[in-house]
Chain A
Amino acid sequence: GENVEQHPSTLSVQEGDSAVIKCTYSDSASNYFPWYKQELGKRPQLIIDIRSNVGEKKDQRIAVTLNKTAKHFSLHITETQPEDSAVYFCAACPGGFKTIFGAGTRLFVKA
């Protein structure tokens, strides 16, 4: 069935270091991959997304890479700051209107 695996479940980094979150999807029809950030007590918010015709996308300190052959996609945060501390969700969209979310990664950035 459709599934998105996300690792690690918890990630702790020192301020200024990089953080990487990895996801694997099962449905090869997936062609859209959004990432959400959920701060404590707030709504999940879209931070970056990538479509299957692109291998990498960058927005300031955040980048996402996609390997369609391996069905892997990853979120990279460079020069982490305390305000990056949150839960991050990856998602894959098979068929255009469905969204399968990963289980989430809790990122702690230590000052």
Chain B
Amino acid sequence: EAGVTQSPTHLIKTRGQQATLRCSPISGHTSVYWYQQALGLGLQFLLWYDEGEERNRGNFPPRFSGRQFPNYSSELNVNALELEDSALYLCASRSGTVSNQPQHFGDGTRLSIL
């Protein structure tokens, strides 16, 4: 069974640019979660999608947005990049129909803002 896959592995941008990060969930998983992890720190919840709808959003500005496609893959878009957006962005997926199941994480996209 293929795990959660994220692309690209690394992304280098400059201030003010826009970044798009992609995530493919485990087959059969309909829920996708996005987290920001700054160096050495915890998992900050960004967004949760299920069945194409945004279910919940963390405490981040509107320039962080995303979407989920009919095949349940997801994109995270970050506009007007700032230096403090430099972090590891992790995607996780889980079953959307069976409750109390663990999230499974991808390897992340490391976003560096110059």
Instruction: Count chain B CB atoms within 10 A of each CB in A49, A51, A98, A106 and give the residue with the most.
Output: A98
**Residue total for B at the interface (Cβ-Cβ under 8 A):** 24
Interface window among A18-26, A37-45, A58-66, A72-80? A37-45
Taking a contact as CB atoms under 8 Å apart, the answer to whether A43 and B43 are in contact is no
Measured between beta carbons, the chain B residues less than 8 angstroms from A32 are 99-101
Measured between beta carbons, the chain B residues less than 8 angstroms from A96 are 99-100
Q: Is A108 an interface residue (CB 8 A)?
A: no
Taking a contact as CB atoms under 8 Å apart, the answer to whether B108 and A43 are in contact is yes
Q: A34-B102, A89-B43, A104-B43 are in contact. Are A43 and B107 (CB under 8 A)?
A: yes
Q: Is B42 an interface residue (CB 8 A)?
A: yes
What are the interface flags for A78-111 relative to B under an 8 Å C-beta threshold, 1 for contact and 0 otherwise?
Answer: 0000000000010001011111011110100000
**Residue total for A at the interface (Cβ-Cβ under 8 A):** 23
B104 interface neighbour in A31, A46, A49, Cβ under 8 Å: A46
In the A-B complex, the 7 residue pairs with the closest CB atoms: A96-B99, A32-B100, A43-B105, A103-B42, A46-B102, A34-B102, A104-B42
Binding site for A on B (CB under 8 A): 31, 33, 40-43, 45, 48, 50, 55-56, 90, 94, 96, 99-108
Binding site for B on A (CB under 8 A): 31-32, 34, 36, 42-46, 49, 51, 89, 93, 95-99, 101-104, 106
Sampled A-B contacts (17; CB under 8 Å): A32-B100, A43-B90, A43-B107, A43-B108, A44-B43, A46-B104, A49-B102, A51-B100, A96-B99, A97-B31, A97-B55, A98-B48, A98-B56, A99-B103, A101-B42, A101-B43, A101-B45
